[in-house]
Structure 1
Amino acid sequence: MPERDAYEVLEVHPKARQLVIQAAYRVLAGEYHPDRDPSPGANRRMVELNAAYEAVRTADRRAVYDIQRSRAAAPVPIVMGYAEPGPRSRESERGSNVVDFGRYAGWTLEEVNRQDPEYLRFLSRHSSGIRYRRRIEQLMARRAEAAAERR
């Protein structure tokens, strides 16, 4: 089992679909690959990322990891109401493409764009979507171009 929680390293929700986990891994691996990021921390982050993905790469491995994870977790107190958002890492602010809150938590922006483009429009105007704004604008522009080509 990796030192840090694999889902935390991959910046996905523990209940995220397998395709979401794979997409998150690919995005983060591209960002921290030593060929793209020569900083000394990138190599350490890439090793950690590979270990986390290896733990949850397939449904079978993920099931084993989830069992180990649940056994290692301390009992969590039951809290009524909404929980406060946890601290975000600098990596998630810089370029994560995975939504980490709301009804589409664990989804990539591309998946949300295919499923519910109106939600992306809302998110681009909402304060919680500031860190995704550039990518949302790209997706919306691509959708508009595709619609114009169909006419």
Structure 2
Amino acid sequence: MISLNANMPDGQLQELKDGDMVTHKTSELFANKKVVMFAVPGAFTPTCSETHLPGYVVLADELKAKGVDAIVCVAVNDAFVMSSWGKAQNAENIMMLADGDGSYTKALGLEMDTAAFGGLRSQRYAMVIDNGVVTTLNVEQPQKFEVSNAESILKAL
């Protein structure tokens, strides 16, 4: 699993933006920026839709006031699902990025197998990345939502 003070691995994440598929290289996404990145097990799932993403939507301005350049939500879903979920959640201020095949989640060592529920998914986590280096890493215990919420990350900044 990725650790504090580690460099983020190279990879790619997709975003559906204005009807076009955009592939983001993580080396460029994190370069010379402070980024809050959080991951959810799945778009449109209960905790993810009721509290996790909405918390970041509500606190986006406060996070940016603390020097955050971008807020990124990642899930092992496709870019079409992530875009639709972002629209449904009024997440205009959040980059809704897809890790469709889970390869970036695996590179981070934060994957989990949910078996018949959904197969390979991401663990629930949040991190602060400063110029490609992990400065805060909050990984949830299974079935918990205590340390990856927007309030916890805001306090860590």
TM-score, L = length of structure 1: 0.31
Q: Please state which structure has a larger fraction of its residues in strand.
A: 2
Q: Greater RCO between the two (CA within 8 Å, min separation 6)?
A: 2
> Bigger radius of gyration, 1 or 2?
1
TM-score, L = length of structure 2: 0.30
Q: Please state which structure has a larger fraction of its residues in helix.
A: 1
